Each structure stands twice: as C-alpha cells, then as structure tokens.
C-alpha cells in the first residue's frame, strides 16, 4: 500500500458537510447563503449525492423519477409501514423504516439491476448494442431469470409511467445511450420470450438517471428517498383513517390455519 493510500485509510475525510458557529457548509457551499432559498429539494438531492449542480434537464428528469416512485398504493412496503405504525404509533420513524426495508430486488429497488444491464450494453461497441441486448435477453430466458426493469403484474400490456418518463428525458435533451440501450433490450426481451414484456417504471428510471450521469450503485437510494415520502403519506392516512385492522383481518382470512 502506498504512503498516500495508507494515510487516507488511517485518516478518513468527508467532502459532504461541516459546520461552524455561524453556518453549515455542504460540499463547499454555504447553507445559508448559497443553498436555502436558492435550490429546490430535487436540486439539493442531486448536488448532495453527486457533488455537482444539476443542469435544468437533469433536475427535471430526477424530479419526474421521484414523483413516479413515491406512491403505488398498498404495496408490501406501505402495508409494512401501516402495520408497524399501528403497533407502535409513538415511533413514526420505525414504521417508515419498516417500509423502507421492503425496497429491494423485487419491489421498487430493481432500478439498480436494470442499470447494470444497460451499463453492459453501453460499454460495448456502438455496433454491438443489439447483439449485446440479445445476449442478455437470451441468457436470462435460458436461466429463467427475470430481466430487471421488465414486466409488471398489473400494468399490461404496458406500464403507463414509462412513456411519460422517457418523454421528459427526451424533451430536456437528457435521453442518450442508456435510453437507446433500454429500447434495444426491450426489443430483444420480447423476441426471447416470444411475447411483449413491458418496460416498467424502474427500467425507465434506470435508463434516464443513468443518462443523467448518476452511477448505478447509488440508484436505489433515489428509490428510498421517494418512497420515504410516500410512506409518510401512508402514516398520515393511518392516523386519520386506520386500515391496519382490516389488513390484519384480510391476512387471516387469506391464509387460514391448517393442522
């Protein structure tokens, strides 16, 4: 290990934030002079996570993605939040955390899985885009693996959110190689499966955020940010119109005891 690398290991630093008696500084910007009242929450998210100020198109695309991911009804994460909140209403944060634990490789968090597939396609030669897409689609089909970003149990034949997201990216000049790779993969997936599989919202989000320059390994974080807001909405509805007992009874009815 080099002396420089050793020093970094022994003396870690942060580039995110510090504070003084009079101010807070985030990535070199004064919170009170440069950020409060100057940036929207969406712009601040982009800046804090990536370290760069977003262009207008990047802000519009990220905002559209956050709006898309915030809510989708009584999904597993929302049900978990409602049940935990009703059991421990003194700890709202615990209920929201319970719901966020459900953002993973099956629900909501599949965006990073799709992004990694698109990265493989984009990393190849321009002329190999369709060939790489075909290889990925056929490999997943042969091994009976779902293709992250494709298919939806409810939205058929197409996910209505996807064209909206792609349209925002195209309107702001953000759609690029990853959106093109998504379209190539979609065509290949349909051929490999012998039927049409919709590009779901997480697939579209993977493509447009990747074209915004956001690394695939942090993409699930944006799903968490958006879903956190949605779960707070479920907590508030549980406060005013409780559904926990109905959900509990529905679970008991759907899964009867059998000796």
Predicted confidence at residue 126, as pLDDT, reads: 64
**Residue 18: strand, helix, or coil:** strand
* Residue 167, token pair as written in the block: 């349209």
Predicted confidence at residue 108, as pLDDT, reads: 65
Work out the pLDDT band at 6, boundaries 50, 70, 90: low
* Residue 148, C-beta contacts closer than 8 angstroms, at least 6 positions apart: 105, 110, 112, 113, 114, 116, 117, 202, 203, 206
- Write down all domains in the chain, each with its CATH number in brackets: 56-254 (1.10.230.10)
Predicted confidence at residue 174, as pLDDT, reads: 96
Predicted confidence at residue 102, as pLDDT, reads: 86
Work out the pLDDT band at 175, boundaries 50, 70, 90: very high
Contact 220, 111 (CB under 8 A): yes
Mean pLDDT taken over the chain:
91
Predicted confidence at residue 259, as pLDDT, reads: 83
End-to-end CA distance of the chain: 62
Predicted confidence at residue 139, as pLDDT, reads: 93
Give the helix ranges, DSSP H, for the chain: 3-10, 41-50, 56-70, 76-87, 92-100, 111-123, 129-142, 161-171, 177-193, 201-211, 219-240, 244-254
8 has a pLDDT exceeding 80: no
pTM value? Answer: 0.89
How far apart CA 208 and CA 60 sit, in angstroms, is 11
Q: To the nearest whole percent, how much of the chain has pLDDT over 90? A: 77
In a 10 Å sphere around its CB, with 0-12 CB exposed, 13-18 middle and 19+ buried, how is residue 50 labelled?
A: middle
DSSP notation for 106-146: TTBTTHHHHHHHHHHHHHS-GGGHHHHHHHHHHHHHHTT--
What confidence tens digit (pLDDT) does each residue in 28-40 have?
Answer: 999 999 999 999 9
Complete edge-to-edge strand list for the sheet that includes strand 17-19 = 17-19, 24-26, 29-30
Predicted confidence at residue 111, as pLDDT, reads: 85
How far apart, in Å, are the Cα atoms of 229 and each of 39, 117, 157?
Answer: 19, 28, 29
């Amino acid at each position: 290990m080099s002396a420089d690398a050793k020093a970094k290991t022994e003396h870690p630093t942060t580039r995110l934030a510090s504070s003084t008696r009079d101010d807070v500084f985030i990535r070199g910007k004064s919170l009170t002079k440069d950020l409060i009242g100057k940036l929207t929450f969406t712009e601040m998210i982009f800046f804090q996570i990536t370290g760069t100020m977003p262009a207008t198109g990047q802000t519009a695309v990220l905002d559209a993605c956050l709006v898309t991911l915030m809510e989708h009804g009584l999904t597993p994460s929302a049900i978990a939040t409602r049940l935990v909140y009703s059991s421990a209403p003194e700890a709202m944060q615990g209920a929201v955390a319970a719901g966020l634990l459900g953002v993973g490789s099956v629900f909501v968090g599949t965006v990073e899985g799709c992004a990694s597939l698109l990265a493989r396609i984009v990393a190849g030669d321009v002329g190999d885009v369709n060939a790489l897409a075909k290889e990925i689609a056929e490999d997943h089909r042969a091994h009976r693996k779902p293709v992250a970003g494709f298919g939806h149990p409810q939205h058929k034949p197409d996910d209505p959110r996807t064209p909206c997201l792609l349209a925002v990216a195209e309107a702001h000049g953000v759609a690029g190689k990853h959106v093109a790779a998504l379209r190539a993969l979609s065509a290949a997936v349909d051929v490999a499966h012998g039927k049409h599989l919709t590009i779901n919202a997480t697939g579209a989000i993977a493509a447009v955020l990747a074209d915004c320059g956001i690394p695939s390994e942090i993409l699930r974080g944006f799903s968490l940010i958006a879903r956190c807001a949605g779960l707070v909405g479920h907590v508030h509805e549980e406060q005013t119109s409780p559904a926990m007992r109905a959900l509990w009874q529905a679970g008991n009815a759907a899964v009867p005891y059998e000796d």
